[in-house]
Amino acid sequence: MKEVTRKIPKKDALGLLLGKPVYTDDLSPKDALIVKILRSPHAFAKIKSIDTSKAEKIDGIECVLTYKDLPRIPITRAGQGYPEPSPHDWYILDEYVRYVGDEVAIVAGKDEKVVEKALSEIKVEYEILEPVLDFEKAEGHSSIIHPEKETHPMFEIGFDAKNNIAASYEMEIGDVEEELKKCDVIITERFYTQAQAHVAFEPHTAASYIDMHGRLVIISSTQVPFHVRRILSEAFNIPIKDIRVIKPRIGGGFGGKQAIHGEPFVAAVTLKTGKPAKIVYSRQEVFEATYTRHPMRYDITLGATKDGKLKVIDMKGLSDTGAYGEHALTTFMVAGSKTLPMYNKVDAVRFSGKVVYTNKVPAGAYRGYGAIQGNFALESAIDILAEKLNMDPIEFRKKNMIREGETSPIFKIMGEGREGVDMIVRSCKLNECVEEGMKLINWKEKFPRKKISETKFRGVGMAIAMQGSGIANIDMGSAILKLNDDGSFNLLIGATDLGTGSDTILAQIAAEVLQVPTENIIVYSSDTDLTPFDVGAYASSTTYVSGNAVKRAAEKMKRMIIREGALKLGLDESKVDFDGKYIFEKDGSKKVDLKELATVLYYTENQKQLIADASYVGEESPPPFMAGFAEVEVDIETGKVRLINYVAVVDCGVTINPNLARIQVEGGLVQGIGMTLFEDVKYSPSGKLLTNNLMQYKIPSRKDIGNIIVKFVESFEPTGPFGAKSVAEIGIDTPPAAIANAIYNAVGVRIKKLPITWTYPRK
């Protein structure tokens, strides 16, 4: 291949390095009103009265809005496919506040100083209610977090607001109880994963204005511009055609921007005043009032025969969605759908559980999206079972894990919020990932432990993982290619580059089809007026879904060029080909330069603009696979765990851009390591977030994560663009289980609750 598999820099790299104005705050109207939010000091309360009169009289204040000034339309903030699997339980402003940081009032003024003063002058009287802060006690609690009659689900899958249940789900294949009776060894264990903050360096930012046609324009740091447009249309009851959403560069998202956050507040101000407005969240607001990862609890029961045949998997979960149900059902289901198929030879499997409301920061999409929580529980339990069977955990996995050409009934039964699709795994080099990882970590020599000194021991552990490539039969991407009169091309895509390099990847795919340099593909992405529809950047979809759309559009463009070139040369189309520079006679000497053809087309002969478009919806979601290996050193006097080496061997199909693929895996690994060893969202007894800044909330630095080795195995996915599968999320999944397994192998202590930050006392 000519352009695909090239290690070329990201298209936006130079501009970002030079500090060009490319982010939402850079591009906001210079005369925009400053918008800030008065937020609740209580975890759960009802507003008895709110007096804004003093605030409104302050010079420079344009408007103060409360729940009385805005339409009472329940929506979900979750940027997911329509109809949304998340319940409609959020209002732009409401008389109830459901967590510390929930929105009470919107204030807009000429500068920050006057807005801050106005916020201090708003007088609110609250009826303080008993908060629900323990998700294990949420179901049936005397406090009902969503008592309002307007809240409703789009899908009736276990929604029960009166009992604080946002969703529930259960499925079973085979007879778990009967098959357990046939097992020689059974283990049952409970695991906990914590909330995790996204910590994207660009805070959530949005701006708005009314254009010359009277339409509402939103500029937003969002992963899902088309979903933002649709949700705002619903929230304000205005037509979609009257809203435009523009996504500039994004300084990190990781799922935290797969929703609306500040957009409704600036929109409300602009619709009220007719003036431009902008909101830039403080770091405290990002922590307290956007999203975290869903904390989860899993009870895992595994059963096997004494020869190492895994017969039964039973996963029962409980998930904490916080104050609102965004991504509640889908994240929970992914915890099963992206883990259970790895062990496809069982005789019975069951997945069940509930997602409950609490009066904490809302949980939402986060890279790994449930799979990391389920993987920690299942892959830790697999090691426990292997030890009871007196088997090497790798040999146990190799005996039971999925292989190329196989399937799992889970694929059809469990999708994201609904039924999945039947699927054969056409590309799976998981076994090769495991073998290569064993060599790179030197497993046979290091397993299970080595004594370094009287107080320090080293151990190795591992885990396997799978993800998906988009959401089959649901999410769609599309692309438009336009030939310019100098022979270059404009690629218009709705796909959202949130720092992943997808603009570059998609340009490479188009360039490969057209056989032109990637530099000749000029990309414009994510503007709901100017680019075609795309669901946005989530579910590891862009390379696979949007990439297939780009490939189809480029193939159509190539056919158009050949047709017009043949007309110019006076030849039949079947006798003509295109090599990226010339349209030429296959068995002759006639040819015309692409630039010359474009000039003729646009200025003199047979004049027409060549435009090709295409769309793609995946009929399946080919999983990428990974084997992760951790080597840790544990000091039994202090309890300090030091990560020495982490090896990740990945099957993501053909790497369109190997450098960008490697960086994606490395970034995911660091976030997974952070979740395992460092990051913890902590609350006070009254429900106030304590880790609401970067002094209290610790993320790992480069010095904390040891040596990282990433390697890709050769694989080819026949349904993917040039053999590619996704790579964005797979890296995050294995660190929790692999590190926990390594710690156990080092010192014999099994950690079942994340993060692993406790002190291990010396005996």
Compute mean pLDDT per 10 residues along the chain, 763 residues long, and list them.
95 94 97 98 98 98 98 96 93 98 98 98 98 98 97 86 97 98 98 98 98 98 98 98 98 97 98 98 98 98 98 98 97 98 98 98 98 98 98 98 98 93 97 98 97 97 98 96 97 96 98 98 98 96 98 98 97 97 96 97 95 97 98 94 97 98 98 97 98 96 94 97 98 98 98 82 44
Sign of CA dihedral 356, 196, 260, 48: positive
Inter-residue contact 258 to 364 (CB < 8 Å): yes
Inter-residue contact 540 to 467 (CB < 8 Å): yes
Q: What is the pLDDT of residue 758?
A: 60
Q: Name the nearest CA neighbour of 223 among 416, 470, 498.
A: 498
Which tokens sit at 714?
Answer: 């050769």
Q: Tell me which fold the domain 476-617 belongs to.
A: Aldehyde Oxidoreductase; domain 4 (3.30.365)
State the burial class of residue 714 (Cβ atoms within 10 Å of its Cβ: 0-12, 13-18, 19+).
exposed
- Specify the DSSP element, H or E, that contains 638: none
Q: CA 72, CA 171: separation in Å to the nearest integer?
A: 36
Q: What is the pLDDT of residue 749?
A: 96
446: left (phi over 0), alpha (psi -120 to 50) or beta: alpha
DSSP state of 18: T
- Specify the DSSP element, H or E, that contains 485: none
Sequence-distant (≥ 6) Cβ neighbours of residue 27 within 8 angstroms: 21, 207, 219, 248
**CATH number of this structure's domain 296-471+620-747, picked from the four choices 3.20.20.70, 2.60.40.10, 2.60.40.740, 3.30.365.10:** 3.30.365.10
Q: Name the nearest CA neighbour of 530 among 563, 475, 498, 490.
A: 490
Question: What pTM did the predictor assign?
Answer: 0.97
Inter-residue contact 211 to 244 (CB < 8 Å): yes
Pairing of strands 185-193, 296-304: antiparallel
- Side-chain-facing half-sphere of 475: CA atoms under 13 Å: 35
DSSP state of 67: G
Sequence-distant (≥ 6) Cβ neighbours of residue 21 within 8 angstroms: 27
Sequence-distant (≥ 6) Cβ neighbours of residue 17 within 8 angstroms: none
Pairing of strands 641-651, 707-712: parallel
Domain 13-129+201-252+257-289 and domain 296-471+620-747 have a common topology = no
Inter-residue contact 723 to 611 (CB < 8 Å): no
Query: E strands along 453-575, which residues?
Result: 456-466, 476-483, 489-493, 521-525
Sequence-distant (≥ 6) Cβ neighbours of residue 120 within 8 angstroms: none
22-47 in b/e burial notation, b at 16+ Cβ within 10 A?
Answer: ebbbeebbeebbbbbbbbbbbbbbeb
Q: Name the 3-class secondary structure at 173.
A: strand
Tally of helices (H runs) and strands (E runs) in the chain: 19, 27
Sequence-distant (≥ 6) Cβ neighbours of residue 15 within 8 angstroms: 22
Which tokens sit at 369?
Answer: 């999206």
Q: What is the pLDDT of residue 155?
A: 76
Q: CA 17, CA 14: separation in Å to the nearest integer?
A: 5
Inter-residue contact 446 to 631 (CB < 8 Å): yes
Q: What is the pLDDT of residue 760?
A: 43
Q: What is the pLDDT of residue 739?
A: 98
Sheet holding 582-585, edge to edge: 576-578, 582-585, 591-593
Q: CA 641, CA 631: separation in Å to the nearest integer?
A: 10
Q: CA 476, CA 467: separation in Å to the nearest integer?
A: 18
Q: Give the domain ranges of the chain.
A: 13-129+201-252+257-289, 296-471+620-747, 476-617
Q: CA 263, CA 275: separation in Å to the nearest integer?
A: 15
Q: CA 207, CA 246: separation in Å to the nearest integer?
A: 10
Q: CA 503, CA 9: separation in Å to the nearest integer?
A: 11
| Chain length of the chain | 763
Structural domain 13-129+201-252+257-289, CATH architecture: Alpha-Beta Complex (3.90)
